[in-house]
Structures are given as structure tokens and as C-alpha cells.
Chains A and B, each alone.
Chain A
Amino acid sequence: MPRPAAPGLRRGAAAAGLTAAAAAVALLAAGLGLDSPPPARPATASALPAPVAPAFTPRPPRLLGSARHRSLWAPVKRAAAVRAAPDAAAPLAGMLEPMTPEGTRTVVAVAERDRDGSGRPWVKVRLAVLPNGTTGWVPRAALGGYGTVRTRLVVDLDAFSATLLRDGRRLLRVPVGVGTAATPTPTGEFYVRNRLTRYRSPTYGPIAFGTSARSPQATDWPAGGFVGIHGTDRPDLVPGRVSHGCIRLRNADILALARRMPVGTPVTIR
């Protein structure tokens, strides 16, 4: 008994043979320069619908570039004891509170990561306490999801300038007012920990950034003597040594900076 598929296959083979013969004749005719119409395409090919054009096509994928100019930060999820080493038994180096005096979520700059003897992960963070530059270890579980920034602000106290870099390239350079000789702006490595807007205090201009830097001379300041980067109602005093430690910018400049500088940005003051 013939198998059901066989006749079809044979018909297909016969059709293929005819198509090949027709193609050979057409080629021969073309070679001889005869003026004849092109051979018809096989019916099966013309019956297939054309593929639907995709509405979008992703661009070629790109690997992540160098991490040299990237910095990590993390929000604080819950109050945590800060230790001098990645170990719950290590000496206490301070306490980390989840909220700032300004009512925003506390964020910390991530300096290093490690595990304790039992494999529990710890994170070394920069603290917004005196003395400036203090670091300590907190359990990873006390922090939320990491954020990454590619920006860095460099404040030059002698040149009265603030320069914003992204991926190491200069984006913006503006004149600044800095602390007086009696109340100098502290130097060192800090980070932007929050951003305040729409407040009613023209002294600070339209936008103020809180940093992790604190003034050793302003310990009795009501909110703890945090150094801010903000606008001003006295643009005529910028640049110069005019503040209690804060970094003052002209209002147009703080607005330009605010468009480009996210929370978590490292700040170098020198």
C-alpha cells in the first residue's frame, strides 16, 4: 500500500523538475539575447505573506563602560548601629538614623563591602558626623537598594569655584562664596545627601543641597551645623569668603547645577 505522503512528494519532485527546466530555458534564451517575458514565479512563493515589519528594532547592545567615575550610594532603611569593623561585636562607631533633620530619607555613600565570619554582608559607609571623614560598617540589611551616580562636584576654596564633572568630564564651572576665616568651609571627601526646594527662605535661594560635611565651628547650630550648597539673596558677595561654612552660588548657577547633580554625588572640597 502506498504511503499517504508519497504521491505528494512525487508531485513535488515533478513540479521541481518542471521549474528547473523552465529556468534553464529562460537562461538559455537570455544568453542568446532573445526578447522574451520573464518566467512566472512558482505559485507557492507568491502565496506566502510578507513578514510584518517590526515597529521597533533595538540598537546594537553596548557593554558597560569603565566604572572609574561611578559612585554608589544607598538609602538607610532602618536605624542601625555603626561598627568600627564588619562584625557585630566590633566597637560602636555611631548610630545611623533613617531620616535626616530636614525630613528626607538618610542616604550614605558606599565606600566598601565585606562579609563577617558567618558570611553576613556588611557595607562601609561615609557618615555625616564630626569629625568629618568618619566611616563605619553597617549590616547590608539596614540599607535599601543601591543607587549609582556618574557625577562629582569639586569645590576649590582658593579659586572660589565649583566644578561639576560627569564621567570625569567637566559639565559646569561656577563661582562660589565660601566660609570666612573664622568659620571656614571644611575640606575633605563628602557627598550630597538631600535636596530642598520650595521653602520660604530667600537667604538660601531657590534650591539647597545638604551635604555630609559639618562645620566644626558651628556645633551649636540648630540643625547640627551641616554644610549646604545653595543659592543666595546676596549675589553681589559671590565669589568671596562670606559664609558660615556653606557654599553659596548665584541663583542661576544653583539652578543650572540642580539640573545636573543628583543626590548621592560625591563632593570634594579642597
Chain B
Amino acid sequence: MRPLTLEAIDRDEVLTEAISELCGSTRAAFLRTTALGGAAMLAALTTPAEAAAEIGDVAILNFGLRFERLQATFYTQADELGTIATMAKAKRSWARTLGAHERAHVKIIKQVLGSKAEGRPSFDFGEANETDAAFTKTAVALEDLTVALLAGVTPQVHDKGLVSALFSLLTVESRHAAWARHIVGTTPAPKAFDEPKTLRQVQGAIARTRFVVRRPRTSGTRSPGFTG
């Protein structure tokens, strides 16, 4: 299977442009860099369960949780940083609604997974959610990516009840994607058929954004040297 590139997912190249701008490089240079670094980051993101031949429902849900957390953090942080507050009313409502939906998704998936839920990853969005323009471009690409992920993995889920629930998420995420595209004035439905993506393909695309980072080590075991 041909590895998924950002170009393939990012149909209007909005994310590619956004990230390349953030990296201070040309689009071509950005793609060269990500192609070189992608494999290692993908390996770092792949859990043993996902590397197995058959991916179980728990592994799929956990990846869904990781991805929903990424989205929820992206929107929440943009709100906390004041990026959303600077937008026009209709756009502000769009951004805040999407944030609220993604937080609700995180909450319920975490609840369904219970003790099998993976820990919260750390994210570094750089400037992607610090300006209106960068935020909007990235949001469009993220929503498109979510639709591709859910369309790809939902048929792999064994539990019928979970399939039903994931389809409900898929339709909502499709509306998010169309809404986001409407906001930026681009075609809400650019193709007659959406090609589903595999979990591994989406993992690769996410890894190439470098939004998921190693958690900063803020705890230690050295003896304190404080004033006492």
C-alpha cells in the first residue's frame, strides 16, 4: 500500500501550507523534511497492539481517543490563547462549537475505554492555533483527516454497537469538515467519493505534523537542593 502523504490527505494543501509557513520553509522543503522524519515518528507512535496483524476494538478506540484529544486540545488551546476571541461572530461560533464537540467525544470514548484508556499525550501546535489564519487552515485539514480516519477504521470494528456509535461520530465529523470548508470558502464536498484511510495511514499523516510530542519531564528523583 502506498504510504499516505500529507498531500494526499490535505486536498487543498491547507495544512501543508500552514505547517510549511510555521516551519519557515518552502512547501517543497517541508515535504522533503517530513518524508525523511516520518518513518521514525510513525514508529514512535505505533503501539504494540497496532503493530499486530489484526487490530482490536480497544486499539482502534484508543487511537480514536488520541486523535480526538489532539483535536480537542487544538480547539481548547486556541480558545484559551484568545485566538478564537479575535474572530468574527459566525466563525467564533464555529470554532467554539467544534471545540465543545471534540471535548464531548474525548469524554465519552475515555469513559467507554475505562481502565483501558491510554494516557493523555502531549501536544505542541507551535503557531498553528495562535493566529486566525493558521488556526483555520489547520482546522480544515484536521476535520478532513478525522473523516478519512473514521471512514477507514469503523468497518474494522467488531462490536456492532461500537460501529453504530462510530458512524454517528463520522457523520458529525463530516459536518464539521463541510462547515470548516464553508468557513474558508472552499468546496464543502470536493469529491463524489471519499477514499477511506487506514489507521496506519492516518498515524503517518499525524506524525508528520509533529503535533504529538514527548511529554516534558517536569518530575525528578534528585535530592532537592532548595533552601530548606
Contact = CB atoms under 8 A, between A and B. Distances in A.
Interface of A: 51-64, 67, 70, 72, 75, 101-105, 107, 113, 121, 140-141, 144-146, 148, 179, 183, 193-201, 203-204, 208, 210, 215, 218, 221-228, 230, 243-246, 263
Contacts of A107: 216, 218
B54 interface: no
Contacts of A61: 97, 100-101, 103-104
Q: Which of A59, A102, A195, A199 has most B Cβ within 10 Å?
A: A102
Contacts, number: 164
Given A121-B130, A196-B221, A208 B103 contact: no
Contacts of A227: 226-227
A64 B223 CA distance: 39
A51 B163 CA distance: 12
A204 to B, nearest CB: 5
A58 B107 contact: yes
Interface residues of B, number: 48
A54 B100 CA distance: 21
Given A55-B159, A210-B224, A194 B77 contact: no
Nearest to A193: B218
Nearest to A70: B80
Contacts of A221: 225, 227
A121 B147 CA distance: 32
Interface stretch (B37-45, B121-129, B138-146, B193-201): B121-129
Given A56-B112, A196-B220, A223 B107 contact: no
B81 interface: yes
A56 B111 contact: yes
Given A121-B127, A245-B227, A75 B162 contact: no
Q: Which of A104, A193, A263 has most B Cβ within 10 Å?
A: A104
